Amino acid sequence: MSEYQAVKGTRDIFPEEVAQWRYVEEIVHTLSTLCGFSEIRTPVFEYTELFQRGIGPTTDIVGKEMFSFLPDPKGRSVTLRPEMTAGVMRAALQKKLFSLAPLHKLYYIGELFRKERPQAGRQRQFSQFGAELLGVSSPAAVAEVITLMMQVFESLGLTGLKLRINTLGDTEDRLRYREALQLYFSPFQEILDDASKERLEKNPLRILDSKNPAVQELVAGAPRLYDYLKASSLQDFEKVLFYLAEREIAYVIDHRLVRGLDYYSHTAFEVSSAELGAQDAIGGGGRYDGLARELGSSADVPASGFAVGMERLLITMEKQGLFAALHPHGPHVYVVVQQQELADHALQITWQLRKAGIKSEMDLAGRSMKAQMRDANRIRASYVLFVGTMEYSTGLYSLKNLATSRQTTLSLEALLQFLQEVAVKEQPAL
RNA sequence: GUGAUUGUAGCUCAGUUGGUUAGAGCGCCAGGUUGUGGCCCUGGAGGCCGGGGGUUCGAGUCCCCUCAUUCACCCCA
């Protein structure tokens, strides 16, 4: 074991796996663009207050999971971003995007940081892709982001995902419901665990998704938010469901789905994967009409969005065998040199091939021909080009197809022409 | 933050009631074939047995501490 290892909760992604990431990222870029979203990249750290205000001081993320530090003794505290939405909204407000146009559709792929104990599907540094639709508040807008998210899953070939959806109503609805909940739970102090008691004061909605069996029994008899929704809120939700049904997106309504972040209102949703173990949420999101005001905006900027955990997505895809067809190919040509005196000549040819756009490789360690051949085989080269005294003197080179073991002798010009032709045929873009 | 789990070669793992120089398979390197790979055969390299302390004539094996891993809780992607 080496002296240094990756920091707890972080990991390295080696080339083979990077190919999987690129494949997924490609689809995210393509589909997001197709749906009219443009990419935004924001800093990995922000002033700590942004998250405190944006995510909410009662949340676990802000309460105990942030990596915060002081860049200089007199400086303001900054925090490695634990989620994306607050930063994106901040950027949009700072740039005064809404004075240019009322509506903005942004998407992102980026790294996040949360100080939690690592476990299956959970790291301290992880990645999410997501989209934010800023400036409109409507069922169509929520349906738009959900559809994009599900579209990505579908394009990747994922199956068996479960989309749960709920409505949290608007601020008024929730305020009335909140009181009802407090009234209902208050008599059961001895049944409630410590966390639930605290939530009873600060955010009683969160008691609903408690996993404590005793608490769950209570929750079963609790009043339903549904009954406290005003007609317009109910209509709003039903319209969202209508859009989903129309697009043949399967969902289940889950009245206990609350989600941990304070800024949600109306629709909230979550997608889980059976492949994931305890941390089975692969993506989630909702509508957050109040966030902009919370961040100091003088005007309302209603919004909705989603975020998908890249690592969890990749794990699920791996489990479902969706990377099987993804085999990164090696160089097109491996230049094998017979004698070390000819190594420079071989190098020169290798570079000629590369200049002609032919992916080429050569042994730089001065190993035996056998070793070079084995290497060519291992890195899955298509052809081997032999450079020996014979080739050097005649200018005619032997090219061997490793798959068929057939070998031909060609001049350098003919070689380049041939390889360029087969290269376009055999190496389609990723 | 809490609980449990596992640390022996690059990887997957053996290692008997504590007993000499710690093993296998795969991988890696070399040779068999001094101009030809995958298969096969032969050989080789590679281990502070996670780290520290203790018990013992003797510790990979037993005890304590520590670090790390993994899984779960909490919560979330």
What average pLDDT does this structure show over A328-344? 88
In residues, how long is chain A? 430
Quick check: A406 CB within 7 A of strand B?
no
Using the predicted structure, report yes or no on whether residue A426 has a pLDDT greater than 70.
no
Q: State the nucleotide closest to A309 in CA–C1' terms.
A: B77
Q: State the nucleotide closest to A374 in CA–C1' terms.
A: B37
DSSP state of A366: -
Query: Which residue is closest, via its CA, to the C1' of B70?
Result: A119
Q: State the nucleotide closest to A276 in CA–C1' terms.
A: B77
Using the predicted structure, report yes or no on whether residue A429 has a pLDDT greater than 60.
no
Using the predicted structure, report yes or no on whether residue A238 has a pLDDT greater than 90.
yes
Using the predicted structure, report yes or no on whether residue A17 has a pLDDT greater than 70.
yes
Quick check: A348 CB within 7 A of strand B?
no
Q: State the nucleotide closest to A285 in CA–C1' terms.
A: B77
Q: How far is the CA of A1 from the C1' of B19 (A)?
A: 29
On whether the CB atoms of residues A82 and A110 are closer than 8 A, the answer is: no
Quick check: A144 CB within 7 A of strand B?
no
C-alpha A158/C-alpha A160 separation (Å) is 7
On whether the CB atoms of residues A163 and A151 are closer than 8 A, the answer is: no
C-alpha A235/C-alpha A30 separation (Å) is 33
User: By mean pLDDT, which of A4-13, A44-53, A63-72, A258-267 is the weakest?
Assistant: A258-267
Q: How far is the CA of A39 from the C1' of B21 (A)?
A: 63
Amino acid in the structure at residue A67: F
Give residue A416's Cα distance to chain centre.
41
Q: Mapped to the 3 state alphabet, what secondary structure does A126-195 carry? A: EEEEEEEEECCCCHHHHHHHHHHHHHHHHHHCCCCEEEEEEECCCHHHHHHHHHHHHHHHHHHCCCCCHH
Tell me if residue A269 falls in helix, strand or coil: strand
Amino acid in the structure at residue A144: E
Q: Sorting pLDDT into bands at 50, 70 and 90, what band is A329?
A: confident
Q: What are phi and psi of A77, to 5 degrees?
A: -65, 135
What's the pLDDT at A425? 66
CB proximity list for A332: less than 8 A, separation 6 or greater: A358, A359, A360, A381, A382, A383, A419, A422, A423, A426, A427
Distances A167 to A170, A200, A255, A287, A393 between C-alpha atoms, Å: 9, 20, 8, 9, 79
Which bases of strand B have any atom within 7 Å of the beta carbon of a protein residue? 1-3, 28-31, 33, 35-38, 48, 50, 68-77
Quick check: A284 CB within 7 A of strand B?
yes
Query: Which residue is closest, via its CA, to the C1' of B9?
Result: A1
Task: Name the residues in A201-220 having a C-beta closer than 7 Å to nucleic acid strand B.
Answer: 206, 209-212
Q: State the nucleotide closest to A122 in CA–C1' terms.
A: B77
Q: State the nucleotide closest to A121 in CA–C1' terms.
A: B77
Q: How far is the CA of A107 from the C1' of B15 (A)?
A: 55
What's the pLDDT at A60? 84
Q: State the nucleotide closest to A85 in CA–C1' terms.
A: B77
Task: Name the residues in A243-282 having a C-beta closer than 7 Å to nucleic acid strand B.
Answer: 259-261, 270, 277-282
C-alpha A289/C-alpha A263 separation (Å) is 8
Amino acid in the structure at residue A214: A
CB proximity list for A134: less than 8 A, separation 6 or greater: A88, A89, A92, A97, A98, A103, A104, A105, A106, A301, A303
C-alpha A68/C-alpha A82 separation (Å) is 10
Tell me if residue A46 falls in helix, strand or coil: strand
Partnered with residue A111 across adjacent β-strands are A127
What average pLDDT does this structure show over A323-333? 79
Amino acid in the structure at residue A392: Y
What's the pLDDT at A42? 97
On whether the CB atoms of residues A39 and A29 are closer than 8 A, the answer is: yes
Quick check: A399 CB within 7 A of strand B?
no
Which residue, among A235, A306, A270, A267, has the nearest Cα to A162 in the 3D structure?
A270
CB proximity list for A401: less than 8 A, separation 6 or greater: A382, A383, A407
- Domains by residue range for chain A, with CATH: 15-170+230-319 (3.30.930.10), 333-426 (3.40.50.800)
End-to-end CA distance of chain A: 36
What's the pLDDT at A186? 83
Using the predicted structure, report yes or no on whether residue A163 has a pLDDT greater than 80.
yes
Which residue, among A359, A371, A294, A404, has the nearest Cα to A49 in the 3D structure?
A294
Mean pLDDT of chain A: 90
What's the pLDDT at A187? 82
ipTM: 0.86
Q: How far is the CA of A67 from the C1' of B60 (A)?
A: 40
DSSP state of A231: H
- Per-residue tokens: A104: 């903005």
Exposure letters A259-294 (e unless 16+ CB within 10 A, then b): bebbbbbbbbbbbbbebbeebbbbbbbbbbbbbbeb
Cα torsion for A282, A261, A68, A87, to the nearest 10°? 80
What's the pLDDT at A1? 53
Using the predicted structure, report yes or no on whether residue A98 has a pLDDT greater than 90.
yes
Does residue A192 or residue A134 have the better pLDDT? A134
Using the predicted structure, report yes or no on whether residue A50 has a pLDDT greater than 90.
yes
